[in-house]
Amino acid sequence: MEFRIGLIRGDGIGPEIVTEAKKVLDAVSCAYGHTFHYTDLLLGGASIDACGVPLTDETVAEAKQCDAVLMGSIGGDAKTSPWYQLPPEKRPEAGLLRIRKELGLFANLRPAYLYEELKDACPLKEEIIADGFDLVIMRELTGGLYFGERKTVVEDGIRKAVDTLTYNEKEIRRIAVRAFDIARKRRKKVTSVDKANVLDSSRLWRAVVEEVAKDYTDVTLEHMLVDNCAMQLVRDPAQFDVILTENMFGDILSDEASMVTGSIGMLSSASLNESSFGLYEPSHGSAPDIAGKNIANPIATVLSAAMMLRYSLNLDQEADAVEQAVKRVLKKGYRTVDIMSEGCIQVSTIQMGDLLAKEIEA
266 and 234 in contact (C-beta within 8 Å)?
Answer: no
Distances (CA, A) of 356 to 125, 211, 240, 320, 333: 30, 44, 29, 13, 13
Question: Is 195 annotated as catalytic?
Answer: yes
296 and 287 in contact (C-beta within 8 Å)?
Answer: yes
Of 90, 101, 119, 195, the active-site residue reads 195
Question: Is 251 annotated as catalytic?
Answer: yes
Question: Is 358 annotated as catalytic?
Answer: no
Of 113, 255, 354, 358, the active-site residue reads 255
73 forms beta bridges with: 10
Of 227, 320, 327, 332, the active-site residue reads 227
- Single-letter amino acid, residue 38: Y
Residue 228 CA, chain-centre distance (Å), reads 23
Of 146, 188, 354, 358, the active-site residue reads 146
Of 26, 134, 236, 251, the active-site residue reads 251
Strands 134-140 and 107-113: what pairing? antiparallel
Question: Is 289 annotated as catalytic?
Answer: no
Question: Is 354 annotated as catalytic?
Answer: no
Strands 35-41 and 2-10: what pairing? parallel
Catalytic center residues: 146, 195, 227, 251, 255
